[in-house]
Amino acid sequence: MKSEAEIENLEIRLLLETIFLRYGYDFRQYAQASLKRRMRQCLSECGITLISEAIPKVIHDRTFLNRLVHALSVTVTHFFRDPLCYRALRKQVIPLLATYPFVTIWHAGCATGEEVYSLAILLREEGLYERVRIFATDINDHSLQIAKEGIYNINSMIESSQGYLDSAGKGALSDYYHSRYDLARIHAALKENIVFAAHNLATDHVFSETHLIFCRNVLIYFNKELTNRVLLLFEKSLVAGGILCLGSHESLSFTAVENRFIPISRDQRIYQQKVGP
């Protein structure tokens, strides 16, 4: 006789398998604790008591599916999140990127775009933006649409101003958006070299040959197997000597690529791919 916890785990596996088979979204190797928490909250808000009740709804109701995918795809972010990371990028990574005639950056798991635009601001201030192409990808179509529009709550922009200054910003964050009422619109010039696209780290292949991969606070939601898959994907996507930037609670230690990178900034989780054997 299975316990209630075992039955719930079975329901979750069936629901995640249904989402994958029906739509291709693969959450099957996400860390279970946080995934369960977000799933329960979403289903409760939708008035669904049993997880198994969500299976037919997922199959036939695309609106519900989108809401569930949005809940399972973590989108917590803001401008210049962890400003010391951006400070390290200015000091230790920008000089390396500046040696290339043209730079390609992959921002994987870009969520609603705040950190993509933060990176674009940094590149513009360092005189590199005009020869950069940023590919910003995410699994969540709703988040990508917000990122493309580049319209945010003015209060969140004001709250991020100190983070911008702490990142060694050379002006004011307000230099990069127009505000009206309670909204702020990112300047069109910052969008010119950014391409937003859907990409599923759990199932899709190499996205592009890139000089910098920026993927912060995404791997913490994956289990060990999926983390290794994604890191190997990143390794294959980087040019020789390319740079990988992870989140403050993420690391290459005890992963499949641990010995294939050297730290540029150990504290800020910025690594460079080794060149040669």
Note whether 43 and 163 are same-domain residues.
no
CA 87 vs CA 101, 132, 217, 266: distances in Å? 23, 19, 18, 14
Residue 200 placed within a domain: yes
Note whether 157 and 29 are same-domain residues.
no
Alpha helices in 73-202 (DSSP H): 83-88, 94-97, 114-125, 141-149, 154-166
**Helix, strand, coil abundance in the chain, percent, nearest 5:** 50, 20, 30
Residue 77 placed within a domain: no
Last residue in a domain, options 72, 98, 128: 72
Residue 197 placed within a domain: yes
Q: Which residues of the chain have pLDDT under 70?
A: 1, 74-75, 276-277
Cβ contact 189:121 at 8 Å? no
Note whether 52 and 155 are same-domain residues.
no
Cβ contact 161:83 at 8 Å? no
Note whether 228 and 166 are same-domain residues.
yes
Note whether 99 and 30 are same-domain residues.
no
Note whether 106 and 125 are same-domain residues.
yes
Domain membership of residue 99 as a residue range = 83-273
Angle at 199 between CA 39 and CA 112, to 5 degrees: 65
Last residue in a domain, options 72, 102, 123: 72
For tokens 């999140």, what's the residue? 81
Query: What is the predicted pLDDT for the residue at 130?
Result: 96
Last residue in a domain, options 72, 96, 112: 72
Residue 210 placed within a domain: yes
Note whether 159 and 265 are same-domain residues.
yes
Query: What is the predicted pLDDT for the residue at 277?
Result: 60
d(CA 152, CA 137): 19
The pTM of this model reads 0.86
Domain count, the chain: 2
Note whether 244 and 112 are same-domain residues.
yes
Residue 121 placed within a domain: yes
CATH number at residue 116: 3.40.50.150
d(CA 59, CA 39): 16
Note whether 55 and 120 are same-domain residues.
no
Note whether 154 and 207 are same-domain residues.
yes
Residue 91 placed within a domain: yes
Residue 254 placed within a domain: yes
Note whether 131 and 42 are same-domain residues.
no
Query: What is the predicted pLDDT for the residue at 1?
Result: 66
Cβ contact 272:241 at 8 Å? yes
Residue 78 placed within a domain: no
Note whether 92 and 210 are same-domain residues.
yes
